[in-house]
Amino acid sequence: MPARDHAFLDHRFIALAHRGGWLTPEDAPRENTAYAFRRAVELGYRYVETDVRTTSDGELLAFHDSVLDRVTDATGRVREHSLADLAGVRIGGIDPIPRFADLLEEFGDTRFNVDLKDAGAVAPLAEVVQRFHAEDRVCVCSFSGVRLNAFRRLLPDVLTATTPRAVAWATHAFGLRRLFVDSGAALQIPVRQAGAPLDLVRADVVRLSHATGRVVHVWTVNEEAEMHRLIDLGVDGLVSDDITMLKQVLLERGLWEGDR
């Protein structure tokens, strides 16, 4: 079905708080924490972006990196630790690493754009989405088409983004775009990619996506002028760390549909 017919996308414009976002840059070390998501929700955000990966005992965590080193007071690979091992680990020295199930429970009216970060996360994510009856509250994406397709087989009615291969067809195949076949309803792409000869978000890409019933979401946009430019180009959503600025831009453009 066309993307706009899905309950997850019932807003004119999707404003996504990247890993919960920040209100000031000093909040950045506390990404993907209940604190970050709580502040986004308090600002009125209905949509947040997060990542999921698994522990050695199969627990599904909201965490971006494969290793703990960058944002926590611990070291080592996430998948080599059990949930019990990580109980005392703190993000930014303050916040515990949240289980995705706990986020779904605490933020019961919030919608999550979820990036599958490892193969082990596929089945646990499907299980927790079903357990919380959250099929209309999640959109699933991944840099791995294998992981994304595995999730689709488990929960075919849940909204997903297009695979990386489909993104390549949409942005670079030009004369072969008739082969742009993918069940994903959202083309989620950065403005540009290192080493790519072209900007990925262009008028022709937006037109193609809309013509095939898809929406276009762009990540991660933290500059005011760039937000305005992309909105003028016709994109359907922006992912940002600077959630204060994004809200202000959307208020100016008459596109803000947050809770406050």
CA torsion 50-37-221-64 (nearest 10°) is: -30
Task: Count other C-beta atoms under 10 Å from residue 214's C-beta.
Answer: 25
| Residue 217, both tokens | 């979401």
Residue in the block written with tokens 């946009």: 221
The whole-angstrom separation of Cα 131 and Cα 198 is 42
* 3-state secondary structure at position 158: coil
CA 14 to chain centre: 11
Q: 93 near 28, Cβ under 8 Å?
A: no
Phi, psi of 111 (to 5 degrees): -105, 140
64 belongs to the catalytic site: yes
Catalytic residue, from 64, 81, 133, 228: name it: 64
Which one, of 184, 8, 35, 11, lies nearest residue 112 by Cα? 8
Residues whose CB is less than 8 angstroms from the CB of residue 30 and which lie 6 or more positions away in sequence, other chains included: 20, 22, 36, 91, 92, 94, 95
Catalytic residue, from 18, 81, 133, 172: name it: 18
228 belongs to the catalytic site: no
Q: 221 near 203, Cβ under 8 Å?
A: no
Q: Position 63: which residue type?
A: F
Catalytic residues: 18, 64
